[in-house]
Amino acid sequence: MVQKVDYELVLDIQLGSGYTTCAKFNPEGSLIAVSFANGTIQILDQEGHRVKELKGHTLGVSDLSWSEDGRYLASASDDTTVKIWSIESFKCVKTLVGHTYHVNCVKFNHKGNLLISGSSDEAIRVWDINNSKCLKTLCAHSDPISAVDLSWDGTIIVSASYDGLIRLFDTQSGQCLKTLIYDGGDVSYPVSYVRFSPNGKYILASTLDGAVRLWDYMDNKVVKTFFAHKQGIGEVSKIEMGKYNCNTDFFIDEKDPSRIIVVSGSDFGSVFLWDVKSRKLLSLLQASEGSPILHVQVNNGKLLTLSRVGECKVYQL
Amino acid sequence: MNLSLLDPFAVAKEYPEVLFSKLEFGHSTLIKSSYNSDYLASGTIDGDIVIIDLDTHGIIKILRNHTRAINSLRWSNCGRYLLSTSRDWKVNLWDLTANEPIRSLRFEGPIWQAEFSPKNQPFEIFISIFEDDCLFVNWEDKDDIRMSPISVEGSEESSNHYILTGVYHPSGNFLFVGTNKGLVNIISTIDGSTLFTEKITSSNVKNIILSQTGYRIAVNFSDRIIRQFKIPDLVNEEPENWVLEVEHKYQDVVNRLQWNSVSFNSNGEYLIASTFGSSHEIYIWETTMGSLVKILEGSKEELVDVDWNFKKCEIYAVGLDSGKIYMWGVIVPQKWSALAPDFVEIEENIEFMEREDEFDIIPENEMAQKNLELEEDIEVDLLTKDTIDARGFSIEKSFVIPLKLEHSQNLFE
């Protein structure tokens, strides 16, 4: 018997005009950072009130990452830079210059000394934050990088690219350790998002054919596949997602830690919650009236969703 | 976690072979990597302690309080505290979340060395002092620092006989000390009494090191011989039954080299030593047979202090003239097949044998469906983390020195 996931909407905010790109809780869960396509970043408190606006990027911001201690926020922008903001002074403390095209994704390591960024210039860069220096440039993809993530101990970087490949890199040496490709016949779909499982042994990857796949990378194989169905639970015809990079997250039920749920946004405003073990769709959450859900994040039992047109919602799961 | 994906032959290497980097942050005299191998502390000739992040090889902190060259540095096991002594006759305890020493002691004369006790870190320490009794110090209470002096026992010639260096047994109950008359003693840390004493030779003890496992001890004497001993069972045997049994003597019989500094690897299976004078090498011996396995070359100057970074399998050494830090490591070759998942690297030609179903044409949908059905039964564990890495070291998150990005620019200038 598959149990549904209950949820309750606890916060519903409409963030001004213009397109939003990314929203993230800080690790503590007390602040939400939201980035906009006009290049600004807003810091909101738990009630959704604006604490501060961070201005500095000249073009749209695509991705945000909090450091583990919550003192810093990194932002990736189309102006080819990555900026690091202090959340104590709300000032930009570092600007990392080196990418030659739009930066699409950023990630702090757990120690807060390295930052990984992926760009449309097809390169991944590893930065020494303290000295604003690029330590390594990993050029192994042949299309824009859509997402990067780090294993929990920070030693492996995983990257997703529109060239259809998922690659793993050694953080220290910058060597490519492994390449994963889903062989779906003639075409390999662009990979739009990738993340490590909490223990770093599996990779959850979204591709633009509308599937989310869980990979066992040691074994080079897909162990679970989750499909997005347009009509919701029970409907079999799968849909093409194809346009937006909707991200995913894991939700671990505190009452039942054996139950792990994969949460994913979709192109048409719904959020999917699948049970990992059975691959069944447990709930379908309508977080927007048809605008793509660009970001989902689970933090301390709360689910944060952000649509492209600025609908930012928080659900208690 | 990356190790499980690397070339197993490279990961299995026991000791580094290639000089891969040189760092120069002031004139370093002494180096020590933290227990978790994340950071390297370097003591400089003008009394600064530079903390280097080994992920970035950049400076993240400079501790300033000493006014003369640093002559000993120790990390606490948790990685948060640092104990330093300097030629300004001071012993400082640093908390790496702050920039000022949290405890400091000034003596009337030069200090050789300070060590953390394995128990009650960072507040119980041992200090050896130039031409004076060495001390056990408990400075838990800032206003009530307790010191108990230990003098040398077990020798007729008691005048001008001093303890030069010491090292704690991992149990924390015993301290191995070496004297200027060639004695190796074992002292109880509970009451300061000398439990065991043996005269090995008549020359100075330069360093004593203990393997982390507590099985072996190596003593570097100024008679140009490093002697390796097996440690008796200190816990179960009575002190009168203890014997220090010499396992091996390491010396260069041809050149009669003096050894500057010595270090064990994590399990005590290898011993390294830097050499005095015109030879610019590091010798690596294997300790069960006592054979020389490797000489690390590459520096153009005499090397003084050596340090073995266990987790990264790297050896660091400091150059005497330039104060540079030399770094030897294991170079892992890029596996080219990692870039193209359809290719396999082979050692030699393999004759092609067609698998029964290799070129069968299966409709795409059928294939996908079949794969999906297979997935049904796969159990996945997304939460349980590995606790040890491929080299056998525990992997856990340890203390991280907080960065101050606001004013980190030009830290060294």
Nearest CA among A253, A252, A126, A248 for reference residue A198: A252
Q: Does B397 touch chain A (CB under 8 A)?
A: yes
Q: What is residue A232's predicted lDDT score, i.e. its pLDDT?
A: 45
Q: What is residue A194's predicted lDDT score, i.e. its pLDDT?
A: 94
**A181/B58 Cβ within 8 A:** no
Dump the DSSP string for B361-402: ---HHHHHHHHHHHHTT----SSPPPSB-TTS-B------PP
Distance of alpha carbon B113 from alpha carbon B127, whole angstroms = 6
* Tokens matching residue B227: 């002697």
pLDDT: is B354 or B395 the higher one? B354
**A86/B375 Cβ within 8 A:** no
Q: What is residue B9's predicted lDDT score, i.e. its pLDDT?
A: 80
**B5/A177 Cβ within 8 A:** yes
Q: In what order do the strands lie in the sheet with A50-54?
A: A20-25, A31-36, A41-45, A50-54
Closest chain A residue to B340, measured at CA: A179
Q: What is residue A233's predicted lDDT score, i.e. its pLDDT?
A: 44
Q: Is A199 exposed, middle or buried (0-12, 13-18, 19+ CB in 10 A)?
A: middle
* Tokens matching residue A245: 């990079």
Confidence check: pLDDT of B218 > 90: yes
Confidence check: pLDDT of B265 > 50: yes
Which single residue is written with the structure tokens 């606006």? A53
pLDDT along chain A (317 residues), means of 10: 75 85 92 92 90 93 94 94 93 93 94 94 94 92 94 93 92 91 75 92 89 90 80 46 76 82 87 87 84 89 90 90
Contact B313, B322 (CB under 8 A): no
* Residue B158 zone, left/alpha/beta (φ > 0; ψ -120 to 50; rest): alpha
Contact B207, B165 (CB under 8 A): yes
Per-residue pLDDT tens for A26-56?
A: 999 999 999 999 999 999 998 889 999 999 9
Most confident region among A269-283, B304-318, B336-350, B382-396 by mean pLDDT: B304-318
Q: What is residue B176's predicted lDDT score, i.e. its pLDDT?
A: 92
Confidence check: pLDDT of B316 > 90: yes
Q: What is residue B154's predicted lDDT score, i.e. its pLDDT?
A: 63
pLDDT: is B376 or B408 the higher one? B376
Closest Cβ opposite residue A155 in set B1, B338, B368: B1
Q: What is residue B411's predicted lDDT score, i.e. its pLDDT?
A: 52
**A168/B5 Cβ within 8 A:** yes
Contact A147, A111 (CB under 8 A): no
**B338/A214 Cβ within 8 A:** no
CA neighbours within 13 Å on the CB side: how many for B98?
A: 9
**Chain A residues whose beta carbon lies within 8 Å of the beta carbon of residue B382:** 197-199, 201-202, 250, 260, 276
**B55/A199 Cβ within 8 A:** no
Contact A289, A313 (CB under 8 A): no
Q: What is residue B94's predicted lDDT score, i.e. its pLDDT?
A: 94
**CATH dotted code for B2-150+258-329:** 2.130.10.10
**B332/A175 Cβ within 8 A:** yes
Stretch B275-295: mean pLDDT: 89
Q: What is residue A234's predicted lDDT score, i.e. its pLDDT?
A: 43
**Chain A residues whose beta carbon lies within 8 Å of the beta carbon of residue B397:** 110, 153
Cα B72–chain centre separation: 13
**Chain B residues whose beta carbon lies within 8 Å of the beta carbon of residue A225:** 371-372, 375
Q: Residue B160 is which amino acid?
A: N
Q: Residue A217 is which amino acid?
A: Y
**Which helix H or strand E contains A133, and what residues bound it?**
strand A133-138
Strands (E), B107-250: 111-116, 124-129, 134-138, 146-150, 163-168, 174-179, 183-188, 194-199, 205-210, 216-221, 226-230, 245-250
Per-residue pLDDT tens for A176-194?
A: 999 998 876 566 788 999 9
Contact A246, A205 (CB under 8 A): no
Q: In what order do the strands lie in the sheet with A61-66?
A: A61-66, A72-77, A81-86, A92-97
Considering all CA atoms of chain B, what is the largest pairwise distance in Å, rounded to the nearest integer?
93
Phi, psi of B368, deg, nearest 5: -60, -40
**Chain B residues whose beta carbon lies within 8 Å of the beta carbon of residue A167:** 339
Residue B70 pLDDT class (50, 70, 90 cuts): very high
Q: What is the pLDDT of chain B when averaged over all its residues?
A: 87
Task: Tell me how far CA of residue A307 lies from CA of A96, A105, A197, A310, in angstroms.
Answer: 28, 18, 24, 6
Question: Taking CA A307 as the corner, what is the angle to CA A301 and CA A312, rounded to the nearest 5 degrees?
Answer: 50
* Tokens matching residue B178: 């070496």
Closest chain B residue to A187, measured at CA: B364
**A252/B383 Cβ within 8 A:** yes
**A170/B2 Cβ within 8 A:** yes
Beta bridge partners, A14, equal A311
Fold of A18-249: Methylamine Dehydrogenase; Chain H (2.130.10)
Q: What is residue B11's predicted lDDT score, i.e. its pLDDT?
A: 83
Q: What is residue A237's predicted lDDT score, i.e. its pLDDT?
A: 44
Closest chain B residue to A73, measured at CA: B405
**A223/B380 Cβ within 8 A:** yes
- Of the residues B23, B55, B57, B389, the best mutation for testing chain A's interface (the one with the most A CB atoms within 10 Å of its CB) is B55
Q: Does B2 touch chain A (CB under 8 A)?
A: yes
Considering all CA atoms of chain A, what is the largest pairwise distance in Å, rounded to the nearest integer?
54
Reduce the secondary structure of A171-208 to three states and give it as a string: CCCCCEEEEEECCECCECCCEEEEEECCCCCEEEEEEC
Distance from CA of A181 to the nearest CA of B (A): 8
Q: In what order do the strands lie in the sheet with A165-170?
A: A145-150, A156-161, A165-170, A176-181
Coil, helix or strand at residue B239: helix
**Chain A residues whose beta carbon lies within 8 Å of the beta carbon of residue B339:** 140, 167, 176, 179
User: So where are chain A's domains?
Assistant: 18-249
